[in-house]
Amino acid sequence: MAETVFDKKIVLVTGGAGFIGSHLCEALLKTCRVICLDNFSTGQEANIDHLLRHPEFEFIRHDVNAPFDPEAFPELARFKVKFQGIQEIYHLACPTSPKKFEQHRIQTLYANSLGMKNVLDLAVRYKARVVHASTSVVYGPRPADGHLFKEEEQGSTDTLGLRACYDEGKRFAEACCATYEQAHDIDVRIARIFRTYGPRMPIFDGHMIPDFITNALDGTDLEIFGDASFKTSLVYVTDVVDGMIKMMAQPEDAGPVNIGSDLDVPIVDVANRIIEMTGSSSKIVFKDSLLFLSQLGLPEIAKAKEKLGWIPLVTLDDGLKKAIDYTIANKTLLTGFRSFGE
């Protein structure tokens, strides 16, 4: 790296107030200074509230689609970005919302092109290493034969559909990473993240699990968007964060790496387990499936094991328990968002 690293690395996290981003900021703060960028399009201020007073944390409210000059922000002066530069960038910013997907479609296109470009331009400027948070959707829908997606799988998504702005956008963002790497000799790593759950997952937004918990605690129906055959892989958020940090730390770029769970779990089982764990009397009901909440495929995770020494560690029971505890602790706060969410 070009700049002298002082006592701590400076790390930029785009989308740092989002579900995964906020957990990542938290983990990074143990060893780094963190600049968290978010415009709250689908991230939440509440996710980073507890970090705002941390001396090594600085939040900048900024839309990643607009060029970002860290040296123009007086609040970053204390990090001495001008002298120390930025060593690492985690790029997570992209609107995600199963329920309000449609209203974010143009912003989704921009995040995957303009936003990606702005991040890569910063990486070129500071010779920063980048971990780009990509997604399992680049492989296309869950395959009929049920095979696990390997990183080499070429994938096929529909360029002309309602989901194209996200699915195709994420593929394009990866292609931008590869192109910048080839043209500018920077180091950009691609983490393909599969379905993740845990505390701070947005509520009432179609993500199912956080709503299951809220509904179970309230004694209201748990809604499954789909039928009893809906299965999915689920990885706990701190495992994902751990995978991304391990990916950044590798001396060599191993190419795209899947980060997710290779266990296929019926969503009905998850719902039942939540009812059990909360001692709830709620029932499960089935609703129409959501276009932006598909079953998704499962990852082959041999590469993550081999190259990163990573495997998912948190069991579904432990993860659900933490998510339930979080919901109980923040219930008033969380359900207060109901009016915003709908």
Partner 1 sequence: MSPKKPVFSRKNILVTGGAGFIGSHLCDALVKEHHVICVDNFSTSSVANIEHLLQNPNFEFINHDIVQPFDLNEFPELDRFKVKFQGIQEIYHLACPISKRHFEDFKIATVLTNSIGVKNVLDVAVANQSKILYASSSVLYGPRTPDRPFVSETDPCVFDHLTSRGAYDEGKRFSEAILYTYQDVYGLDVKISRIFRTYGPRMKLFDGNLLPDMINNALEKKDIELPYPEDARIGLSYVSDIVDGLIRHMNSPIDVTVVNLGSDQEFLLSSVAAQVIKLTESSSRVHFEPVEHRHGEAGLPDINKARQVLGWLPLVRMEDGLRRMIDYSRAQRQLTSHFGQH
| Binding-site ranges for partner 1 (CB under 8 A) | 105-106, 109-110, 112-114, 117, 138, 154-162, 164-165, 167-169, 171-172, 174-176, 178-180, 182-184, 255-256
């941390």: which residue's tokens?
54
Least distance from partner 1 to the Cβ atom of residue 165, Å: 5
Nearer to partner 1, 117 or 331 (CB): 117
Least distance from partner 1 to the Cβ atom of residue 192, Å: 11
| DSSP string over 248-292 | HH-SS--S-EEES----EEHHHHHHHHHHHHT----EEEEPPPTT
Least distance from partner 1 to the Cβ atom of residue 171, Å: 5
Nearer to partner 1, 62 or 171 (CB): 171
Catalytic residue among 90, 110, 166, 197: 166
Least distance from partner 1 to the Cβ atom of residue 99, Å: 17
What is the pairing mode between strands 32-38 and 57-61?
A: parallel
Active site residue 166: yes
Nearer to partner 1, 41 or 157 (CB): 157
Q: Residue 208: which region, alpha, beta or left (left: phi > 0; alpha: psi -120 to 50)?
A: left
Radius of gyration of the chain (CA): 19
| DSSP string over 139-183 | G-SPPTT-PPBPTT------SSSTTHHHHHHHHHHHHHHHHHHHH
Helix axes 267-278, 316-329, angle to 10 degrees: 50
The candidate with the shortest Cα–Cα distance to 205, out of 341, 87, 301, 104, is: 341
Residues with a known catalytic role: 166
